Structure 1
Amino acid sequence: MSIFSIGLSGLRAAQTGLYATSGNISNVNTPGYNRELVQLGENRSYGVLVNGVERQFNQFVATRLNAASGSLASLETYHSQVRQIDNLLSDERSGLAPVMQEFFNALGQMNSSPADPAARAGVLGTASTLVSQFKSFDNYLEDIERSVNAEMKFEVDSINSLTGQISQLNKEILLARSGAGDAPNSLLNQRDKLVHDLSQRIDVRVHEQKSGSYTISLNNGSPLVSGDTSYQLDARADNNDPTRTAIFYNDVSGNQVQLKESTFNRGSLSGLMEFRSKSLDTMRNQLGQMVRVFADSFNQQHQAGVDLNQDPGQAMFGTGEPVAYSHSRNTGTGVAGVQITDANALLATDYDIKLTDTGYEVRRVDNGKLVDATFDGATGTLAFNGVEVAMTGTVDQGDSFRVRPLVNQTQSFELLLTEGAQLAAAQSNASGDNRNGLAMLDLQNQLLVEGKGTFNQAYGTMVSTLGNQINVVQANLAAQQGLTEQLTALQQSESGVNLDEEAANLIRYQQYYQANAKVIETGSTILDTILQLR
């Protein structure tokens, strides 16, 4: 051991400290960067030993922060989507309550003078406006649904890109460790940043293997990343309903498995799916329910009257037809035909029908609850909640069908009358008879929607349901923002760069370097002195 080797080891240690400190300072604003510290150890042979440069990374805190960030991203996505509908409902120009009230007001004016052509024209005009407003509202909701489907595909593409990059970094990290043996901090930082970004899009579980490689899986255990292999997700048509987008997982055998929406509890993808199922589907079904009840009630009452031409009243409004889809993996040839038998008994939901070993099972899509259904074996018909489903063809055990009685009702909503004289305001041929007009006017006060609400009350339910959802998500969003900020602060306290602290370290390592240079200089002076003695 010599004074020169001791001094040189100190110089190398000081130089490594200066490099690490300068790296910390230059990366103070780099996303995902973790502060680095030099780990020194005693070497009895020749001074100090540099054991490595260690990044200040706490896996436990990172996992909690990733989970919190994923929940926050889900709530933010849900909130931004649901606000679109809220803005529409709160707009007086696009609201449905005013146009319904104008229609009933026009009916009241016609009843005051049932033979007046102007009053009758006013009823047709307000009825046409009402139909247009309902259709415009539904078209807006349909546009939102298309946008959600497109955003889901974008999120899946982003997730696949991130998992591909993480698997590549797993490979590079293993290669780096097998070569130099040192921890490749830059690669580790990049990988953890990608994991954080991934957690903001989808709910994942991260496990670090002994080799240092990450295994990342969905919360149902399906792997997304395993070593240097990544498994892709796909966004395509739902097996239950081809008009909707669902998420599929490509397993190790190359099979595509449709994932349940419950698989996605966090992340922006979860927020999109939760908004679609809890808010958008509910709103469209409530709107379709109101339209069908409104149209059937007015048609029934209008057809009980007589128009100005002394002809029986005809249907006043037309609506869309219910639809049913066979599951894409059904083994039988069965087809479900749907018709509405009692509009007043309709519920604002879709249904799943499945043939089990004990018979047909009908389940609500919105809450998953079983529905009491009556099956007529002679006609192959299921009846429940104002809906009748006729099963034709061969239905095998396990086959299922998605029934959507209301989703298309508003799209085809139309006014069938073209002339004011066609309004059947009378119940007889007597001049001035307005009894049927009064009966139609009274429909606004009857509990027709599910047998427990008027049209205005049904619309109020739509508004209040959405309002409650917004209040809940806003409260949860505020709480989650606070939690995420706390965890971010905790993570930064351990891994973030403090410029004041790094400036002090810079001075400390500079002095350390100068002192070790002095040691070498002193050793050289001593050696020269010894040589001169000879």
Structure 2
Amino acid sequence: MSIFSIGLSGLRAAQSGLYTTSANISNVNTPGYNRELLQLSENRSYGVSVDGSERQFNQFVATRLNAASGSLASLDTYYSQVRQIDNLLSDERSGLAPVMQKFFSALGQMNSNPADPSARAGVLGTATTLASQFQSFDNYLEDIERSVNAEMKFEVDSVNALTGQISSLNREILIARSGTGDAPNSLLNQRDKLVHELSQRIDVRVHEQKSGSYTISLNNGSPLVSGDTAYTLEARTDNSDPTRTAVFYNDVAGNQLQLKENVFTRGSLGGLIEFRSKSLDTMRNQLGQMVAVFADAFNTQHQQGTDLNQNPGQAVFSTGAPIAYSNADNGGDAAANVQITDSTALLASDFEIRMTGAGYEVTRLDNGKPVAANFDGATNTLTFNGLSVEMTGTAQQGDSFRVRPLVNQAQNFEMLLTEGSQLAAAQSNASGDNRNGLALLDLQNQLLVEGRGTFNQAYGTMVSTLGNQINVVQANLAAQQGLTEQLDALQQSESGVNLDEEAANLIRFQQYYQANAKVIETGSTILDTILQLR
């Protein structure tokens, strides 16, 4: 060991320190960058060894931050979507309560003078407006659903792009490590940044292998990234409902498996799915429930009266028909034909019918609870909650059917009468008889919706349900925002670049460099002195 080799090793160490500090400073605003610290060790042969730059990265904190960011993205997406419905409900021009009040008000005016053509025309006009307003509201909700389906496809495409990049980085990192044995910090930063972005879109689990490669999987254990292999997702038509989009997983054998919605509990994709199932489906079913109950009750009462032409009352409104879908994976050829038998018993929910070893089982899809259903083997008919479902064909065990009795009710809500004289306000042929008109007017006060609420109360339930959802999301969003900010600050305190600290390091390494240069200079002076002695 000579004084020159010691000084040179110190110069190299100081120079490496200046490089590391300069890199930290220049990347202070680079997203995903983790600051580096110079690693030195004693070398008895020639002074000091440079062991490289260590990346300041805490996997535990990063995992917590990724999870928090994913939850925040989910809540933020949910909130932005649900606000669209809230804006519509809060708009007085598009609200449903005012048009219903105007309709019953016009009906009351007709009852004051049942033979007045203008009063009857007023009822027809407000009835047409009522049906049109319900249709417009449902069309708006349907547009939102189409938008959600499109956004789901975009999110899935983004997830596939990110997992593909992560798998490529896994390969590059392994190659870099096999060549030098050192950790390629820039590649590691890129990969962790992509993992963070992936966590904001979908709920994932990350496990680092001994080789340094990441294995990333969904929360059900299905791998998305394994080494340099990426498994893709696909957004396409739901097996149980052709009007909806679902997410499918492409496994190693090339099979496509439809993923359950509870796989997506975090991330913007999870927020879209949760909004659709908890808010959008609920709102459309509550709207359809109101239409089905109102139209059925009004038609039934109207048909008990007599119009100005001394004819029996006709049906005033038409609505959409309930629908049922057979799952695309069903092994049998059975089909479900659904009819509404009692509108007052309808629940604002879709249902799933599944064939099991014990027979047919019915489940509510809004809360996952089983439904008591009666099965008539003679007619192959299930009855539950105001519905009659006839099963045709042969069902195999495991076959399922999605029943949507209300989703089309408002979409096809129409006024059928064309003349005011067709309004059956009377119960007899007597002039001025308005007894049936009074009975029609009294429908607004009857508990017809699920046998416990009026039409106005049902609409109020729609508004309050949505309001409660928004309040809960807002509260959770604020709390999650605070938690995410705390974790981000914790991560930055360890991995972020502090310019004051780096400025001090520059001075320290500069002095370190100068001191080692002085060592070499001193060695040279000593050597010159020795040579002069000869």
Report the TM-score, using the length of structure 2 for normalisation.
0.99
Q: Quick check: 1:186 aligned with 2:186?
A: yes
Q: CA deviation at 1:219?
A: 0.8
Q: State the AA in 2 paired with 1:297.
A: A
The alpha-carbon deviation at position 27 of structure 1 amounts to 0.4
- Of the structure 1 ranges 276-285 and 47-56, higher mean CA displacement relative to structure 2 is found in 47-56
In the TM superposition, residue 265 of structure 1 has moved relative to its aligned partner by 1.2
Equivalent residue for 2:329?
A: 329
Identical-pair percentage:
84
Q: Look up the equivalent residue of 1:317 and give its one-letter code.
A: F
User: What residue identity is the alignment partner of 1:146?
Assistant: R
Corresponding residue for residue 533 of structure 1: 533
Could you say which residue in structure 1 is the equivalent of 2:485?
Answer: 485
Between 1:514-523 and 1:413-422, the stretch displaced more is 514-523
Deviations 1:284-313 (A, max 9, x none): 000000001010011001111111111111
CA distance in 2 between counterparts of 1:137 and 1:524 reads 90
TM-score after normalising by structure 1: 0.99
2-structure distance, mates of 1:354, 1:178: 54
Q: 1:372 Cα shift? A: 0.8
Question: Does structure 1 residue 88 correspond to structure 2 residue 120?
Answer: no
1:136 and 2:136 are equivalent in the alignment: yes
- 1:45-96 CA-to-partner distances (Å, cap 9, x unmatched) read 1111111100100011001101111111111111111111011111111110
Where in structure 2 are the equivalents of 1:273-312 lying within 5 Å?
273-312=273-312
Q: Which residue of 2 aligns with 1:506?
A: 506
Task: Write the letter of the residue equivalent to 1:351.
Answer: F
The answer for the alignment partner of 2:102 in structure 1 is: 102
CA offset digits 1:445-504 (Å, max 9, x no partner): 000000000000000000000111111111111111111110000000000000011011
Measure the CA separation in 1 of the matches of 2:472 and 2:240: 30
Cα distance between partner residues in 1 of 2:153 and 2:392: 35
State the distance in 1 between where 2:520 and 2:130 align.
93
Alignment of 1:253-272 (within 5 A): 253-272=253-272
Q: Name the counterpart of 1:154.
A: 154
Q: Distance in 2 between matches of 1:423 and 1:533?
A: 130
Question: How far does the alpha carbon of each residue in 1:231-281 deviate from its partner, in whole angstroms, 9 at most, with x for none?
Answer: 001111111111111111111111111111111111111110000000000
State the secondary structure of the residue aligned to 1:41: strand
Kindly state the Cα deviation for residue 518 of structure 1 after the two structures are TM-superposed.
1.4
How far 1:399 moved relative to its partner?
Answer: 1.1
CA distance in 1: counterparts of 2:525 and 2:347, whole angstroms:
97
Q: CA deviation at 1:355?
A: 1.1
Structure 2's unaligned 5+ residue stretches are: none
What SS is found at the alignment partner of 1:216? strand
The one-letter amino acid paired with 2:249 is Y
CA distance in 2, matches of 1:469, 1:508: 56
Deviation at 1:529, TM superposition (A): 2.0
What is the aligned-residue RMSD (CA, Å)? 0.7
2:489 aligned counterpart, secondary structure: helix
> Following the alignment from structure 2 to structure 1, what is the Cα–Cα distance between the partners of residues 178 and 357?
57
The answer for the alignment partner of 1:449 in structure 2 is 449
Give distance in 1, aligned partners of 2:275 and 2:168.
34
Provide, for residues 488-527 of structure 1, a one-character-per-residue CA deviation record: whole Å limited to 9, x for no partner: 0000000000001101101111111111111112212222
Question: 2:225 is aligned with what amino acid?
Answer: V
Alpha-carbon separation, structure 2, partners of 1:227 and 1:386: 54
Instruction: Describe the SS at the equivalent of 2:370.
Output: coil
SS at match of 1:339: strand
Q: Give the Cα–Cα distance (whole angstroms) in 2 for the partners of residues 295 and 520 of structure 1.
A: 98
1:172-217 alpha-carbon deviations (Å, 9 max, x no partner): 0000000011110000000000001011111111100000000001
**Structure 2 counterpart of 1:375, one-letter code:** F
Matched residue, 1:212? 212
Matches within 5 A, 1:205-244: 205-244=205-244
Aligned to 1:125: 125
Mapped to 2, the partners of 1:391 and 1:231 lie a distance apart of 39
Instruction: Work out the CA distance in 2 between the residues paired with 1:84 and 1:461.
Output: 18
- Of 394-403 and 451-460, more deviation after overlay is shown by 394-403
Note the residue ranges of structure 1 that are not aligned, 5 or more in a row.
Answer: none
Alpha-carbon offset, residue 368 of structure 1:
1.0
* Amino acid paired to 2:79: H
